[in-house]
Structure 1
Amino acid sequence: MKTSEKFETRKKVVFAIVLTLLIISVFYAIYMLFQAPSGVAQNEGERVKTDYVLMVLQCLVGAIVIFLPKKVEDHFEVRIPNAIEITYFIFLFCAIYLGEVRNFYFRVPYWDVILHAFSAAMLGALGFILVDYLTGIENLNLRLSPFFVSFFAFCFSVTCGIIWEIYEFLADGILNTNMQKFITAHGEVMIGRAALVDTMKDIIVDVLGALVVVVFGYFTLKRKQKESAA
């Protein structure tokens, strides 16, 4: 079996596993929603109704966006590398199933930071793929410098991170969830600068994660440019 075929098989297996876990988790969260107490958690690690509302929301969103790479490939006739797709599925597994369902956000120190760095790097790589697709469209006739390509990839990654923070803010306001972690594990509502720490930390990590990939991508493009000119 060729390497490409092996990656294709692995991609399908990972996709099926993650999608199955997300669907099962939706039914689990709905069941627990009726069993959990209302109000604010009294003990660290205790889950209340709003926690399961968030779990249902996250799992449903995950079960929908897991099809996004396939839809993009079919609609735009662009090829996303299998490695990138597998990485994307693993990210959904870590962020939603492990993070929300298995409560890794509270069980594992810096789990949120790790995921934001991971997603920023992945989105930065996706930004390069997007530019590669655009430059391949004959009607556009784009010829972009390595710096501009890298700058676009950086902005694309950070913008996606900011959109995610907006999503968290709206979810917390509409569904009374705690995605932005403005309520401590002991039920204390933070105010002022303390309430902004989680959001700003996420944005800073997004910027740094994207920057690492973009710098690497910039020097890779510069090297290829020199090789093609030689």
Structure 2
Amino acid sequence: MPEARTVVRAILLVTLMGSIVFASVRLATAPAASADPSVRVQSDYVLMLLQCALGIVVMFLPLIVQRRFAVHLPSAIEIAFFVFLYCAIYLGEVRSFYFRIPYWDNVLHFFSGAMLGALGFVLVQLLNDSQRLHVELSPAFVSFFAFCFALASGVVWEIYEFTADSLLGTNMQKYVTEAGEVLIGRSALHDTMIDLIIDASAALIVTVLGFLWLRPRMGKDAERPAPLLERRPAAD
């Protein structure tokens, strides 16, 4: 019987591939511009294609990491990653939840900040359990790294949004209102800064909880915590 992560990965892959076909067909007939904000224009379908293609690429990153470093990522983190991609790309872009559901973007940024914070802990555990480089890191440093990793990932995402908006004429950073008004100054920065603040808040909550969990388990007389990653035996 296939693992839950395998089933979720397959569902996500089929969904994204179907969305690419849908966006490609609609792109050919969509208007270049429209005064009606409810009508999707060509740039909307270009963004949809970009997001779906990128989603297919990044959804295989956990599998690549597991094979490259011979580790077994926790199923919960991998499934959460797939659920996030489904909610952000298919529900958010294809099904227009970003416009239909209030604060959908904020919820996803909080979810991703928390997930990336947890992933930061996993990456440090990978370093701690390395057979080639064994290090003992304090709970404070592990938590600090996890927080910085989550926040840096959020910054990379904002750079991606800015690049897509600049090159493809999309509106991922919401610098243009539905009425077509181009925002300037502080108003133009609002979406980006709110996203980063939410990312940081979620990551901080997870890393503080992680610190409180690690601290009593990594004292001098405490047992070493069970590894978050299960290392696979080397092939003969």
Instruction: Tell me which residue corresponds to 1:169.
Output: 162
CA distance in 1, matches of 2:162, 2:192: 9
Q: Deviations over 1:41-77 (max 9, x none)?
A: 4223321000000000000000111111000000011
Alignment of 1:129-148 (within 5 A): 129-148=122-141
> Structure 2 length as normaliser, TM-score?
0.91
Contact 2:12 2:86 in 1 (8 A): yes
Would you say 1:112 and 2:70 are equivalent positions? no
* Structure 2 counterpart of 1:87, from 80, 87, 111: 80
Cα shift readout 1:102-122 (whole Å, capped 9, x = no counterpart): 000000000000000000100
1:60 to 53, 56, 72: 53
Residue 200 (structure 1) aligned to one of 190, 193, 202: 193
Query: How many matched pairs?
Result: 223
Distance 1:59 1:228, change over 3 A: farther
Distance 2:123 2:179 in 1: 44
Q: Structure 1 vs Structure 2: percent identity of aligned residues?
A: 53
Which residue identity does 2:159 align to in structure 1? I
Q: Which amino acid aligns with 1:53?
A: V
Change (3 A) 1:227 1:16: farther
- What residue ranges of structure 2 are gaps of 5+ in the alignment? 224-236
Shift of 1:99: 0.3
CA distance in 2, matches of 1:67, 1:118: 20
What amino acid is the match of 2:36? N
1:28 is aligned to 2:22: yes
Aligned-residue offset at 1:227: 9.1
Structure 1 counterpart SS, 2:218: helix
* Range with greater deviation from structure 2 (153-162 or 130-139): 130-139
CA contact (8 A) 1:45 1:106 kept: no
Structure 1 gap segments, 5+ residues each: none
Instruction: With the length of structure 1 as denominator, give the TM-score of the two structures.
Output: 0.93
Give the Cα separation in 2 of the matches to 1:185 and 1:78: 46
Hey, what's the Cα distance between the residues in 2 that align with 1:227 and 1:82?
Answer: 30
Q: Which has the higher helix share?
A: 1
